[in-house]
């Protein structure tokens, strides 16, 4: 009989805020797809995290469904992977509260995402925004995750997750698996088209990002307007030529071509031609996803079924970890 090998577990999440971008695709979603055959994967639409900034309920509900449809349209198989909404498994919030008690104020105030978001939403610097990384740690630790595919912007949050888990384990024994990050080789930080020293973000103005669902003409237009420099040379130099380097990384991430190869083909031809070629590679990558998205998002019964099954399967694993945590902490047990 073939030996049953326990596969490594993967967990990752994406917030259902705004429109998913090319950054989310290259930094996260595309890797989810590459990993689904070799690992035991959970991919969550982290809607509780979205509450850290004020959301319009109608818009948020639509964004939740849109994100799930995009997960599926990008190729994630709901049989192989557990695809579900974070808020539907209440253990996330529960463990989040527990872990708050093992996290220090000083650690949270050093988080760069907190500082960025606090500056952007100065009128609503709430406690949820402050403890956001603790909820993220509970997402990961609930499932005894080995590997977390994320973009480079989430490195700091993963580090704090590991610190919290190690701290907890040092007191209570081996409760949580200590997770590792999994980052794309190229494109771990796709930059804004208008300010190429900042990351591309779905909560920034429209012309700074390419949405996965942008139509081809819009993609071409946004890339033609992308900020570059006045040198007209397609050379990979992120320090001095961040705009060009960003476009080269996008092309390289989507086509697998090396920077040298891209540089050799387009150097000396002017940026117009290069930008058009970048647009071609982006359109070629996104068009099939857009077609699938139209089909899947019209099929409410299918989405309902994926949602229900994801909730159940994720809930069962989360429950096992929570039983262990409850026992270790000494809070009321299920069975006397
Ligand atoms: P927001 O701008 O609303 O905070 P976001 O665009 O950063 O959102 P998230 O839902 O927070 O998106 O992130 C989902 C995943 O996409 C994370 O793994 C994150 O690291 C990755 N990601 C986000 N932006 C980029 C980017 N510009 N380049 C590479 N990866 C990215
Ligand atoms: N914080 C992440 C989204 C996120 C996540 C997670 C990613 C929430 N929980 C767990 C990986 C694992 C973000 O802002 N990109």
Residues 67-120 pLDDT 10s: 999 999 999 999 999 999 999 999 999 999 999 999 999 999 999 999 999 999
CB atoms within 10 A of CB 1: 3
Distances (CA, A) of 97 to 2, 102, 134, 184, 293: 42, 9, 8, 31, 36
Confidence bin at 336 (pLDDT 50/70/90): confident
Beta strands at 82-85 and 40-45: parallel, antiparallel or unpaired: parallel
Q: Give the Cα separation of 208 and 156 in Å (integer).
A: 24
Cα atoms in the Cβ-side hemisphere of radius 13 Å centred on 80: 15
Question: Does ligand 1 have an atom closer than 6 angstroms to the CB of 67?
Answer: no
Q: Give the Cα separation of 176 and 328 in Å (integer).
A: 12
| Overall average pLDDT of the 277-286 stretch | 98
pLDDT of 24 above 80: yes
- Catalogue the active-site residues: 117, 199, 202
Query: What digits encode the pLDDT tens for the residues 192-240?
Result: 999 999 999 988 999 999 999 999 999 999 999 999 999 989 999 999 9
Does residue 290 contact residue 230 with C-beta atoms inside 8 Å?
no
Q: Pick 88 or 1 by higher pLDDT.
A: 88
Query: What is the three-class DSSP state of 43?
Result: strand
Tokens at residue 45, please? 């639409």
- Specify the residue with its C-alpha closest to ligand 2, atom 11: 12
Query: What digits encode the pLDDT tens for the residues 110-147?
Result: 999 999 999 999 999 999 999 999 999 999 999 999 99
Nearest to 194 by CA among 168, 218, 216, 223: 223
Residue 2's pLDDT is: 53
With a CB cutoff of 8 Å and minimum separation 6, the contacts of 334 are 323, 326
The overall average pLDDT reported for the chain is 95
Query: What digits encode the pLDDT tens for the residues 293-334?
Result: 999 999 999 999 999 999 999 999 999 999 999 999 999 988
Q: Which atom of ligand 2 is nearest to the CA of 149?
A: 11
Residue 266's pLDDT is: 95
Does residue 148 contact residue 83 with C-beta atoms inside 8 Å?
no
Residue 117 CA to ligand 2 centre (angstroms): 15
The domain limits of the chain are 9-187+300-329, 206-295
Residue 334's pLDDT is: 80
Question: Does ligand 1 have an atom closer than 6 angstroms to the CB of 33?
Answer: no
pLDDT of 3 above 70: no
Nearest to 160 by CA among 113, 94, 124, 90: 113
On the question of a common fold for 9-187+300-329 and 206-295, the answer reads no
pLDDT above 70: percentage of residues in the chain = 99
HEC sequence for 107-130: HHHCCHHHHHHHHHCCCCCCHHHH
Confidence bin at 268 (pLDDT 50/70/90): confident
**Which ranges in the chain belong to alpha helices (H)?**
22-24, 30-35, 47-50, 57-73, 91-100, 105-109, 112-120, 127-142, 155-172, 216-224, 242-255, 259-266, 271-297, 300-329
Q: Which CATH number is 206-295's, of 3.30.300.30, 1.10.10.10, 1.10.240.10, 1.20.1050.10?
A: 1.10.240.10
Query: What digits encode the pLDDT tens for the residues 231-266?
Result: 989 999 999 999 999 999 999 999 999 999 999 999
Does residue 12 contact residue 150 with C-beta atoms inside 8 Å?
yes
Does residue 110 contact residue 333 with C-beta atoms inside 8 Å?
no
Residue 4's pLDDT is: 63
- Specify the residue with its C-alpha closest to ligand 1, atom 23: 24
Q: Which atom of ligand 1 is nearest to the CA of 151?
A: 20
pLDDT of 1 above 70: no
Q: Which residue has the tokens 């990002």?
A: 209
Backbone angles phi and psi of 229, in degrees to 5: -155, -175
Angle between helices 242-255 and 271-297 (to 10 degrees): 50
Residue 269's pLDDT is: 86
Task: Specify the DSSP element, H or E, that contains 83.
Answer: strand 82-85
Question: Does ligand 1 have an atom closer than 6 angstroms to the CB of 133?
Answer: no
Residue 291's pLDDT is: 97
| Overall average pLDDT of the 151-171 stretch | 97
Residue 15 CA to ligand 2 centre (angstroms): 7
- Homologous superfamily assigned to 9-187+300-329: HUPs (3.40.50.620)
Nearest to 224 by CA among 238, 243, 252: 243
| Overall average pLDDT of the 4-16 stretch | 91
pTM for this prediction: 0.94
């Amino acid at each position: 009989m073939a030996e049953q090998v326990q596969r490594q577990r993967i967990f990752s999440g994406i917030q259902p805020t705004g429109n998913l971008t090319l950054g989310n695709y290259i930094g996260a979603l595309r890797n989810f797809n590459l990993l689904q055959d070799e690992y035991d994967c959970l991919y969550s639409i982290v809607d509780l995290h979205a509450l850290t900034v004020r959301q319009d309920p109608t818009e948020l509900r639509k964004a939740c469904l849109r994100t799930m449809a995009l997960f599926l349209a990008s190729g994630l198989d709901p049989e192989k992977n557990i695809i579900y909404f974070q808020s539907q498994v209440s253990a996330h919030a529960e463990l989040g509260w527990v872990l708050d008690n093992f996290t220090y104020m000083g650690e949270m105030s050093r988080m760069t995402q907190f500082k960025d978001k606090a500056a952007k939403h100065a009128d609503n610097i709430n406690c949820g925004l402050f403890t956001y990384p603790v909820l993220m740690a509970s997402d990961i630790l609930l499932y005894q995750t080995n590997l977390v595919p994320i973009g480079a912007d989430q490195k700091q949050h993963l580090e704090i997750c590991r610190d919290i888990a190690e701290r907890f384990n040092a007191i209570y024994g081996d409760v949580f698996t200590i997770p590792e990050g999994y980052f794309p080789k190229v494109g771990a930080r796709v930059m804004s088209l208008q300010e190429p020293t900042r990351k591309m973000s779905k909560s920034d103005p429209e012309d700074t990002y390419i949405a996965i669902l942008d139509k081809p003409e819009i993609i071409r237009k946004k890339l033609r307007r992308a900020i570059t420099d006045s040198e007209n040379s397609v050379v990979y130099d992120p320090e001095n030529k961040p705009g060009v380097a960003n476009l080269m990384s996008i092309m390289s991430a989507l086509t697998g071509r090396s920077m040298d190869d891209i540089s050799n083909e387009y150097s000396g031809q002017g940026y117009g031609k290069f930008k058009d070629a970048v647009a071609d590679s982006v359109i070629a990558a996104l068009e099939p996803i857009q077609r699938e998205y139209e089909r899947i998002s019209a099929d409410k019964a299918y989405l309902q079924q994926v949602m229900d099954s994801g909730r159940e399967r994720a809930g069962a694993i989360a429950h096992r970890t929570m039983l262990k945590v409850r026992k270790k902490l000494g809070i009321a047990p299920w069975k006397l």
